């Protein structure tokens, strides 16, 4: 039953086939038995069971709050959760308990979701492997799948079986692994340069990065404020739409023309999209979960309409763009083949498939690096050991206390980014780096505007250069090099603020997931997910066969077989 | 071009004169119920750290939400200072580490502020003579919205720093004035005028003693015709009197330094009010690089006017410049002109009325309640009331004599019930604040004019009888001597005689 999709399990709850408490207990048991994946930093067993109990009462009264009521979920450990530790996988915030919930967390809880725990990540979400946090690396559940075991040849007999495990991708690797290993039905990640889509691709789950401004960032501990978006990880596209529906409820319809006009304006702003009014009106109706959050001035203010994801049968009116610049050096032939096959799939179904150009793509990753580190340097300034978080014992002077606190609290990766960000922001460098990067960012955003303006509905691209590589291989390169390689196909969507989704597409020769990316127009999540859903149906991505979990677990999966949907 | 300075300073006859240049940066706390980017209350002298939201303490994940009231206050102030209001302004982060700046940066408007290119006219009297007033203009470079910091309290004995974040995040308007002034007095007059404008608008209470108005002065000196000298910044001056002293001291110090062959270094200094001098501040070692960057959590601030206002927009969500413009109250300069026109008083009197806290309202209240002509009332307000207030360091609102009582008193005088010398006596009694009405005092002290013609004639007759010599002189044609007799009658009646009536009686009796 734990392998069911969110919508299936929701139906099962409604029909009384399982109670929220039972469901929560089974998930918690699986979380325990898959502990070796290191997907969770904190498991909130007690509060989860309490929430499940509350949900159960609602079901008993026949008044569940909606499709998410009683559904076990997980949240990346860079979203604030009241009463549950929020660490960002950093020594700086170890033991930090926030007094408030992030807006997205609050919305999920308000809909009756059961929060199982906080998932692992790279420290402050800086990374692409989920290997660089203080709680250790996340292991990709597929490392323990029958599919991988059968196809991968142990390099030598002397090598312990354990060293073959592959990375989960990152930085939301914990969330992706948690969904992939069936420990929860949906998880929140964050996506700044690909942090939701990359691990989704490696772990074979759907990873949605919505349009910048559609979902509130309030309570998400920022990496790059102008690019961060809460991401959604689920087993299938429909589930992502359900969660998005909950996190936004309504989708943007009314003034697309306005946004188009604004996003084409030549003003040199860091916003790919202009959000033009921002005095919050205090009459926030609780329960009505429109996209705008009065606590986040960068969320859209317009009226939204609820949407249901239709099943597309005819793609002949669709125009799919294949950006040639995404054929980057280092792209594995395997991924390239999957990408071409996917394009053919659309073509054969009658869609118009066109090669398009996004000419500034090459410059994107460099600019991303400048803008990212600059905002990181600024955002991290608040961690000084005074108000909260780690404080060094050093007491010689306030300045020496700051220095020691930050040296002890941050990893080399974080400190490295702070250092380069501060360098780019120095008065003498600002024009040469930050302003130039901003200008190029505008060009990159305009590339997309032009392509979509030419009649393209959706862009289809690869999302990773290859399938997931073993941890021992991954750590041979430093975080900076890895991030540059791994974000190359994903961060442009963040630079432009566009919605993008990973759809698991095929298994590699090694039996590991390969995903492809669909990039849509601003605030056109409905169209994006509709196409993704059609594609998902065509490719019939196989379900993970978790051999190892069976070996590790307490018989949870065997027990479920009788009640399973599959 | 900045106006040419009228004041050259010469310390030594044989050396070239100096031109002092003064520019000001003024931080005014915006009067608002809540802070610039959070919902925390704003209140002076609240218990430490009792007005701190999650955002103010910079808890991770919190975001700024702009307070509409603060924007309106800045627009109002910009309009009052003849600024161009930028329809689109931007917010920036200014980074530095300090214990009372929890985020490690201040949100300000460095690149595109909300208002630019304004001017402020102010008047001051030359050589302390009220009759010699000159009007000057200082250009306003910009007005920017920004966050206030918290407060650090250093406990040197225990080598501790205590931080109070109540003030952290309170909305400030930084008004940047171009270096168009040349002495402490000018700087003080400009700040006083700004203070009056802010108070009139209600955009800031601008009480300097409570830190709601803080002044940084940039001071330099140069020889006429030469480029500006190296400037120093005297920071955090918190009274107008200190501003005059600090600027003048700094000008003198720089001139002396230069004439003694020294140099002026670009540094921040503080004014030591006890010693009456400026001293270098020790806090900053070397130049700070604030690493400015755009505030990514706040979209550009867009303001509208009647023309650009989009249809079907929620009015709670937009600020309409024209709407604010139409509702601006009368500014001090307009108030002064109106006072002169309405009451026929002198311009310099209108200046005092407007510049002294609550005095104009006091004056107008009195005028409303008395038949006495405003031109006469002003004398009582300025020479009697104001001098008493000044002596006791009180404002008009704190006056022990209310406008009601003063009006009553002036009515007694105007009706001829008492003489003006009696009125002065009553005024002194009223000042004691014993709760008596003017009439009660008049009765008690028997100060009312003698209305009984016969009684008055008897007193006059008695004086005439006693003063043969004077009577003779008058009869010989020396009419002026009658004043002496009038004085004697007044003395005899202890001021209770109407001098006009006395004169009539005396004249009549002497011509008999």
| Average pLDDT value over all residues in chain A | 87
3-state secondary structure A227-248: CCEEEEEECCHHHHHHHHHHHH
Q: Cβ separation of B297 and A301 shorter than 8 Å?
A: no
Q: What is the ipTM of this complex?
A: 0.90
Q: Cβ separation of A387 and B57 shorter than 8 Å?
A: yes
Q: Which of B55, B87, B299 to mutate to test the interface with A (most CBs of A within 10 A)?
A: B299
Is-contact B324 B75, C-beta < 8 A?
Answer: yes
Other C-beta atoms closer than 10 Å to the C-beta of A411 total 21
* Location of structure tokens 């125009």: A319
Indicate if the alpha-carbon torsion angle A305, A311, A315, A319 is positive or negative: positive
Q: A-B interface: how many C-beta pairs under 8 angstroms?
A: 140
Q: Cβ separation of B313 and A225 shorter than 8 Å?
A: no
Of the candidates B161, B163, B291, which has its C-beta nearest A422's C-beta?
A: B291
- pLDDT exceeds cutoff 90 at A547: no
When pLDDT is cut at 50, 70 and 90, the band that residue B129 belongs to is: low
Q: Which residues of B touch A222 (CB under 8 A)?
A: 60-61
- pLDDT exceeds cutoff 80 at B1: no
Q: How do residues A97-109 score in pLDDT, each as one tens digit? A: 999 999 999 999 9
Q: Is B86 exposed, middle or buried (0-12, 13-18, 19+ CB in 10 A)?
A: buried
Is-contact A368 A193, C-beta < 8 A?
Answer: yes
Q: Which of B293, B316, B318 to mutate to test the interface with A (most CBs of A within 10 A)?
A: B293
CA A393 to chain B, closest CA, distance in angstroms equals: 14
Phi, psi of B397 (to 5 degrees): -65, -25
3-state secondary structure A491-560: HHHHHHCCCEEEEEEEECCCCCEEEEEEECCCCCHHHHHHHHHHHHHHHCCCCCCEHHHHHHCCCHHHHH
Nearest Cα neighbor of A244 from A231, A227, A262 is: A231
Residue of chain A whose alpha carbon sits nearest to that of B90: A269
Q: Which residues of B touch A219 (CB under 8 A)?
A: 61-62
> How far is B456 from B463, CA to CA, in rounded Å?
11
When pLDDT is cut at 50, 70 and 90, the band that residue A245 belongs to is: confident
In Å, how far from its chain's centre is CA B184? 15
Q: What is the pLDDT of residue A528?
A: 96
Q: How do residues A211-229 score in pLDDT, each as one tens digit? A: 999 999 999 999 999 999 9
Q: Is A69 left (phi over 0), alpha (psi -120 to 50) or beta?
A: beta
A427-431, B151-155, B500-504: which is most confident: A427-431
The region of weakest confidence among A131-145, A251-265, A380-394 is: A251-265
Residue of chain A whose alpha carbon sits nearest to that of B93: A378
- pLDDT exceeds cutoff 80 at A9: yes
Other C-beta atoms closer than 10 Å to the C-beta of A150 total 11
Helix axes A45-60, A20-33, angle to 10 degrees: 160
When pLDDT is cut at 50, 70 and 90, the band that residue A550 belongs to is: low
* Beta partners for residue B88, in sequence order: B302
When pLDDT is cut at 50, 70 and 90, the band that residue A155 belongs to is: low
> How far is A203 from A75, CA to CA, in rounded Å?
16
Which tokens go with B109? 């408007």
> How far is A49 from A72, CA to CA, in rounded Å?
10
Query: Which CA distances in Å does B117 have to B86, B140, B141?
Result: 10, 6, 5
CA B218 to chain A, closest CA, distance in angstroms equals: 22
Q: What is the mean pLDDT of residues A342-353?
A: 97
Q: Cβ separation of B66 and A278 shorter than 8 Å?
A: yes
| Higher pLDDT among residues B258 and A283, named by residue | B258
B47 DSSP 8-state letter: S
Q: What is the pLDDT of residue B380?
A: 94
Of the candidates A93, A301, A381, which has its C-beta nearest B105's C-beta?
A: A381
Is-contact A510 A148, C-beta < 8 A?
Answer: yes
Q: What is the mean pLDDT of residues B353-382?
A: 93
- pLDDT exceeds cutoff 60 at A557: no
- pLDDT exceeds cutoff 50 at B75: yes
3-state secondary structure A161-183: HHHHCEECCCCCHHHHHHHHCCC
Q: What is the pLDDT of residue B186?
A: 95
Q: What is the pLDDT of residue A303?
A: 54
Phi, psi of B41 (to 5 degrees): -70, 155
Q: Which residues of B touch A296 (CB under 8 A)?
A: 63, 297
Q: Is A158 exposed, middle or buried (0-12, 13-18, 19+ CB in 10 A)?
A: exposed
Which tokens go with A259? 């946004």
Residue of chain B whose alpha carbon sits nearest to that of A216: B63
Q: What is the pLDDT of residue A549?
A: 57
When pLDDT is cut at 50, 70 and 90, the band that residue A289 belongs to is: very low
Is-contact B216 B25, C-beta < 8 A?
Answer: yes
A199-208, B221-230, B424-433: which is most confident: A199-208
Q: Strands (DSSP E) along B159-259, which ranges?
A: 160-164, 171-181, 213-222, 232-237
Q: What is the pLDDT of residue B486?
A: 86
Query: What burial letters (b/e) apply to A531-552, b meaning 16+ CB within 10 Å?
Result: bbbbbbeebebeebbbebbeee
Q: What residues in chain B have their Cβ under 8 A from chain A's Cβ atoms?
A: 54, 57-66, 68, 71, 88, 90, 93, 95, 97, 99, 102-105, 161, 163, 289-294, 296-302, 313-314, 316-319
Q: How do residues A26-54 score in pLDDT, each as one tens digit? A: 999 999 999 999 999 999 999 999 999 99
Q: What is the pLDDT of residue A250?
A: 38
Q: Which residues of A touch B88 (CB under 8 A)?
A: 267
Q: Cβ separation of A298 and B299 shorter than 8 Å?
A: yes
Q: Is A290 exposed, middle or buried (0-12, 13-18, 19+ CB in 10 A)?
A: buried
- pLDDT exceeds cutoff 70 at B263: yes
Residue of chain B whose alpha carbon sits nearest to that of A425: B291
Q: What is the pLDDT of residue A266?
A: 36
Instruction: List, in order, residues 6 or more apart from A16 with CB less than 8 Å away.
Output: A59
Q: How do residues A528-541 score in pLDDT, each as one tens digit? A: 999 999 999 999 99
> How far is A6 from A395, CA to CA, in rounded Å?
52
CA A408 to chain B, closest CA, distance in angstroms equals: 18
Q: Which residues of B touch A374 (CB under 8 A)?
A: 293
| Average pLDDT value over all residues in chain B | 91
| Higher pLDDT among residues A435 and A397, named by residue | A435
When pLDDT is cut at 50, 70 and 90, the band that residue A376 belongs to is: very high
In Å, how far from its chain's centre is CA A297? 22
- pLDDT exceeds cutoff 60 at A267: no
CA A256 to chain B, closest CA, distance in angstroms equals: 16
Q: How do residues B94-119 score in pLDDT, each as one tens digit? A: 999 998 999 999 999 999 999 999 99
Q: Are strands A72-76 and A186-191 parallel, antiparallel or unpaired?
A: parallel
Query: Which CA distances in Å does A473 have to A161, A340, A476, A489?
Result: 15, 28, 6, 21
The region of weakest confidence among A262-276, A432-446, B193-207 is: A262-276
Q: Cβ separation of B289 and A382 shorter than 8 Å?
A: no
Q: Which residues of A touch B68 (CB under 8 A)?
A: 279
Q: Is B127 left (phi over 0), alpha (psi -120 to 50) or beta?
A: left
> How far is A197 from A233, CA to CA, in rounded Å?
8
Q: Return the active site residues of A.
A: 76, 171, 195
Which DSSP helix (H) or strand (E) runs through B20?
Answer: strand B19-29
Nearest Cα neighbor of A4 from A206, A239, A195 is: A239
- pLDDT exceeds cutoff 90 at A563: no
Q: What angle do CA B318, B323, B328 make, to 5 degrees?
A: 125
How far does chain A reach from its first CA to its final CA, in angstroms? 8
> How far is A33 from A177, CA to CA, in rounded Å?
13
Residues in chain B, total? 512
Q: Cβ separation of B97 and A381 shorter than 8 Å?
A: yes
> How far is A55 from A66, CA to CA, in rounded Å?
11
Q: Cβ separation of B102 and A382 shorter than 8 Å?
A: yes
When pLDDT is cut at 50, 70 and 90, the band that residue B427 belongs to is: very high
When pLDDT is cut at 50, 70 and 90, the band that residue A274 belongs to is: very low
Q: What is the pLDDT of residue A255?
A: 33
Q: What is the mean pLDDT of residues A462-467?
A: 97
Instruction: List, in order, residues 6 or more apart from B99 with CB less than 8 Å away.
Output: A386, A398, B150, B152, B161, B163
In the three-class reduction of DSSP (H, G, I as helix; E, B as strand; rest coil), residue A414 is classed as helix
Is-contact A53 A19, C-beta < 8 A?
Answer: no
Of the candidates B58, B161, B293, which has its C-beta nearest A374's C-beta?
A: B293
Query: Which CA distances in Å does B432 have to B381, B388, B404?
Result: 17, 11, 16
CA atoms within 13 A on the CB side of A123: 22
Q: Which residues of A touch B317 (CB under 8 A)?
A: 277-279, 281, 301
């Amino acid at each position: 039953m734990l392998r069911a999709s969110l919508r299936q399990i929701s139906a099962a709850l409604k029909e009384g086939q399982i109670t929220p408490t039972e469901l929560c207990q089974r998930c918690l048991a699986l979380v325990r038995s898959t502990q070796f994946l290191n997907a969770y930093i904190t498991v909130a067993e007690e509060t989860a069971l309490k929430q499940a109990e509350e949900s159960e009462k609602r079901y008993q009264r026949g008044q569940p709050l909606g499709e998410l009521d009683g559904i076990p979920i997980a949240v990346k450990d860079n979203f604030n959760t009241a009463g549950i530790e929020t660490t960002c996988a950093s020594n700086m915030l170890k033991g930090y308990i926030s007094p408030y919930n992030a807006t997205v967390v609050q919305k999920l809880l308000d809909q009756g979701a059961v929060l199982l725990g906080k998932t692992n990540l790279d420290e402050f979400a800086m990374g692409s492997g989920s290997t660089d946090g203080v709680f250790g690396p996340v292991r990709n559940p597929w490392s323990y799948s029958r599919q991988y075991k059968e196809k991968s040849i142990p390099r030598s007999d002397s090598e312990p079986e354990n060293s073959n495990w592959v990375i989960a991708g990152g930085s939301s690797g914990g969330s992706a692994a948690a969904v992939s290993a069936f420990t929860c039905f949906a998880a929140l990640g964050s996506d700044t340069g690909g942090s939701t889509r990359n691990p989704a691709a490696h772990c074979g789950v759907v990873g949605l990065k919505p349009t910048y401004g559609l979902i509130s960032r309030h309570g998400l501990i920022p990496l790059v404020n102008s690019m961060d978006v809460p991401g959604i990880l689920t087993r299938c596209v429909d589930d992502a739409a359900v969660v998005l529906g909950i996190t936004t409820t309504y989708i943007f319809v009314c003034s697309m023309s306005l946004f188009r006009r604004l996003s084409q304006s030549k003003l040199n702003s860091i916003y790919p999209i202009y959000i033009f009014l921002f005095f919050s009106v205090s009459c926030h109706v609780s329960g009505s979960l429109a996209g705008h959050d009065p606590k986040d001035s960068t969320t859209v203010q317009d009226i939204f309409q609820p949407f249901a994801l239709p099943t597309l049968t005819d793609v002949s009116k669709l125009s799919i763009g294949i950006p040639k610049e995404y054929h980057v050096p280092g792209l594995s032939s395997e991924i390239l083949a999957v990408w071409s096959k996917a394009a053919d799939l659309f073509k054969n179904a009658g869609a118009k498939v066109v090669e398009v150009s996004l000419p500034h793509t090459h410059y994107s990753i460099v600019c991303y690096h400048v803008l990212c580190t600059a905002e990181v340097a600024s955002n991290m300034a608040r961690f000084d050991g005074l108000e909260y978080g780690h404080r060094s014992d050093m007491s010689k002077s306030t300045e020496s206390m700051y220095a020691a606190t930050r040296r002890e609290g941050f990893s080399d990766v974080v400190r490295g980014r702070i250092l380069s960000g501060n360098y780019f922001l120095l008065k003498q460098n600002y024009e040469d780096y930050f302003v130039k990067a901003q200008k190029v960012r505008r060009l990159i955003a305009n590339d997309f505007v032009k392509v979509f303006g030419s009649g393209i509905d959706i862009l289809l691209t690869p999302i990773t250069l290859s399938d997931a590589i073993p941890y021992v291989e991954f750590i041979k390169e430093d975080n900076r090099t890895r991030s540059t390689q791994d974000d190359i196909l994903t961060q442009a969507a963040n630079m432009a603020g566009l919605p993008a989704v990973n759809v698991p597409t095929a298994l590699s020769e090694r039996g590991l997931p390969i995903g492809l990316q669909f990039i849509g127009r601003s605030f056109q999540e409905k169209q994006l997910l509709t196409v993704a859903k059609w594609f998902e149906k065509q490719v019939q991505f196989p379900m993970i066969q978790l051999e190892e979990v069976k070996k590790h677990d307490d018989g949870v999966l065997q027990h479920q077989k009788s009640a399973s949907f599959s | 071009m900045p106006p040419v300075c009228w004041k050259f300073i010469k310390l030594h006859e044989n050396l070239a004169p100096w031109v002092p240049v003064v520019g000001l940066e003024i931080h005014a706390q915006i009067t608002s119920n809540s802070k610039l980017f959070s919902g925390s209350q704003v209140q002076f002298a609240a218990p430490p750290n009792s007005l701190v939201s999650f955002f103010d303490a910079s808890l991770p994940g919190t975001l700024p939400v702009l307070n509409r009231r603060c924007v309106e206050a800045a627009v109002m102030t910009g309009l009052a200072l003849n600024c161009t209001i930028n329809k689109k302004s931007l917010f920036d982060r200014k980074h530095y580490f300090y214990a009372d700046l929890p985020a490690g940066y201040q949100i300000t408007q460095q690149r595109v502020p909300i208002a630019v290119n304004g001017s402020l006219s102010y008047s001051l009297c030359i050589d302390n003579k009220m009759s010699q007033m000159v009007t000057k203009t200082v250009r306003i470079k910009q007005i920017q919205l920004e966050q206030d910091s918290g407060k650090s309290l250093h406990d040197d004995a225990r080598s501790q720093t205590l931080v109070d974040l109540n003030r952290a995040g309170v909305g400030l308007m930084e008004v940047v004035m171009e270096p168009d002034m040349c002495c402490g007095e000018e700087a003080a007059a400009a700040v006083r005028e700004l203070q009056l404008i802010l108070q009139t608008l209600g955009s800031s209470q601008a009480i300097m003693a409570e830190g709601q108005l803080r002044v940084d002065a940039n001071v330099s000196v140069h020889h006429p015709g030469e480029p500006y000298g190296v400037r120093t910044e005297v920071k955090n001056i918190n009274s107008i009197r200190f501003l005059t002293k600090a600027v003048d001291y700094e000008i003198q110090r720089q001139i002396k330094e230069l004439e003694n062959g020294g140099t002026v270094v670009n540094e921040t200094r503080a004014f030591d009010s006890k010693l009456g001098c400026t001293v270098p501040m020790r806090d900053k070692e070397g130049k700070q690089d604030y690493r400015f960057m755009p505030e990514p959590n706040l979209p550009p601030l867009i303001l509208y006017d009647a023309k650009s206002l989009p249809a079907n927009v929620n009015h709670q969500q937009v600020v309409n410049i024209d709407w604010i413009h139409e509702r601006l109250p009368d500014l001090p300069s307009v108030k002064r002109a109106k006072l002169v026109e309405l009451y026929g008083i002198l311009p310099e009197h209108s200046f005092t009325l407007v510049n002294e806290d609550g005095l104009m309202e006091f004056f107008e209240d009195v005028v409303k309640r008395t038949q006495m002509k405003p031109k006469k009332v002003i004398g009582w307000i300025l020479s009697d009331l104001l001098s008493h207030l000044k002596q006791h360091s009180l404002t008009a609102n704190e006056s022990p004599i209310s406008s009601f009582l003063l009006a009553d008193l002036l009515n007694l005088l105007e009706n001829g019930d008492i003489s003006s010398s009696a009125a002065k006596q009553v005024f002194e009694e009223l000042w004691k604040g014993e709760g008596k009405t003017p009439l009660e005092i008049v009765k008690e002290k028997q100060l009312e004019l003698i209305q009984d013609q016969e009684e008055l004639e008897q007193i006059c007759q008695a004086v005439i009888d006693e003063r043969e010599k004077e009577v003779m002189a008058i009869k010989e044609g020396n009419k002026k001597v009658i004043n002496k007799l009038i004085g004697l009658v007044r003395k005899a009646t202890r001021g209770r005689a109407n001098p006009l009536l006395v004169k009539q009686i005396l004249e009549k009796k002497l011509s008999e």
